[in-house]
Structure 1
Amino acid sequence: MKKWAISFLIAALAALLLYIPVNDLHIEYNNQLYEEQRADASEHLNMIRDDIQARLDSSLFYADFFEMIVSQDPDISESELREYGAFIVGRNPLVDSISLAKDGIIHFVYPLEGNEESLGYNLLEDPDRKLYLEEAIDKRKAVAQGPVKTIQGGRKIFNRKPVFIEKISTEEVWGFANVIIDFDNLVEASLLPNQSHAFDYAIKVESKWVESTSWGDESVFEEDAVTASILLPENEWTIALIPSNGWNRTHTIHSVETIVFYFFILIIFILVMFFVLQYLKKRELSRTDALTRLLNKKTFEVSVKRVLKRSSRNNGLLLIDFNDFKRINDTHGHLVGDQVLTITAERLMHCLKKGDLIGRIGGDEMMILVKDIDAATLESIKERVIRHIEKPIVLNKHMINPSISVGQTLVSQWLPFDHLYDIVDKKMYRDKTVKKSRKAQLSISFDLPDLES
Structure 2
Amino acid sequence: MPPLHRPHKPISSRVVFLAALLLVIAGLAVTEYVVRMAEQRVAQVRTIEATAILAQMRAQLESEINSVLYLSRGLISYVAVQPAYDPDRWRELAAEVAHDSTLVRNIGLAPDNVMRFVYPLEGNEQALGLDYRNTPEQWPAVERAISSGKLNLAGPFELKQGGVGIVARSPVYFMDDGKKRYWGLASIVIDFPRLLEQARVSAHVEGFDIAIRGRDGFGAKGAVFFGLAKVFEDPVVEMTVHFPNGSWIMAARSSPGVSTPVIVIRLAAWLLIMILAGLFLLLFRLYRFAHEQSVSDPLTGLANRRLLLGRAEYLAQLYSRTGQGFALFFVDLNRFKQVNDRFGHHVGDQLLIEAANRLSQSVRQSDTLARNGGDEFILLQPGVNAGDASAIASKLEAMMDRPFMIEGHSLQISASVGCAVFPQDVNNVEAVINLADSRMYERKQEKRARQS
* Common topology (TM > 0.5): yes
Matched residues, percent identical?
23
How far 1:62 moved relative to its partner? Answer: 3.9
Distance in 1 between residues matched to 2:174 and 2:427, nearest whole Å: 121
Distance 1:340 1:140, change over 3 A: same
Would the aligned equivalents of 2:202 and 2:210 in 1 still touch at CA under 8 Å? no
1:287 correspondence with 2:289: no
How far 1:159 moved relative to its partner? Answer: 1.1
Equivalent residue for 1:231, pick from 223, 226, 242: 242
Distance in 2 between residues matched to 1:47 and 1:301, nearest whole Å: 84
Distance in 2 between residues matched to 1:350 and 1:172, nearest whole Å: 122
Would the aligned equivalents of 2:152 and 2:245 in 1 still touch at CA under 8 Å? yes
Distance 1:405 1:53, change over 3 A: same
The aligned residue for residue 401 of structure 1 is 413
1:214 correspondence with 2:222: no
The aligned residue for residue 6 of structure 2 is none
Distance in 2 between residues matched to 1:381 and 1:59, nearest whole Å: 115
Distance 1:17 1:48, change over 3 A: same
Distance 1:381 1:150, change over 3 A: farther
Aligned AA for 1:92? Answer: S
The aligned residue for residue 7 of structure 2 is none
TM-score (normalizing by structure 2): 0.68
Distance in 1 between residues matched to 2:193 and 2:113, nearest whole Å: 27
1:180 correspondence with 2:189: yes
Deviations 1:116-144 (A, max 9, x none): 33233222343333322332233332111
Deviations 1:315-372 (A, max 9, x none): 997654437x46645886797887655433333456767786544578835335599x
Equivalent residue for 1:163, pick from 172, 180, 198: 172
1:112 correspondence with 2:113: no
Would the aligned equivalents of 1:63 and 1:159 in 2 still touch at CA under 8 Å? no
Match runs of 1:302-317 below 5 Å: none
Q: Which runs of 5+ in 2 are unaligned?
A: 1-9, 384-388
Distance in 1 between residues matched to 2:392 and 2:81, nearest whole Å: 125
Q: Which runs of 5+ in 1 are unaligned?
A: 372-377, 410-415, 448-453
RMSD, matched Cα: 5.5
Distance 1:337 1:126, change over 3 A: closer
Would the aligned equivalents of 1:101 and 1:176 in 2 still touch at CA under 8 Å? yes
The aligned residue for residue 148 of structure 1 is 157
How far 1:399 moved relative to its partner? Answer: 1.5
Would the aligned equivalents of 2:113 and 2:132 in 1 still touch at CA under 8 Å? yes
Equivalent residue for 2:284, pick from 272, 276, 279: 276
Aligned AA for 1:276? Answer: F
Equivalent residue for 2:354, pick from 326, 343, 359: 343
Would the aligned equivalents of 1:67 and 1:176 in 2 still touch at CA under 8 Å? no
TM-score (normalizing by structure 1): 0.68
Would the aligned equivalents of 2:308 and 2:370 in 1 still touch at CA under 8 Å? yes
Match runs of 1:3-402 below 5 Å: 9=17, 21=30, 32=41, 35-75=44-84, 77-168=86-177, 170-191=179-200, 200-206=209-215, 212-221=223-232, 224=235, 226-241=237-252, 246-249=257-260, 268=276, 271-289=279-297, 292-296=300-304, 299-300=307-308, 319-322=328-331, 325=333, 328=336, 341-349=352-360, 357-359=368-370, 364-367=376-379, 390-394=401-405, 399-402=411-414
Would the aligned equivalents of 2:127 and 2:160 in 1 still touch at CA under 8 Å? no
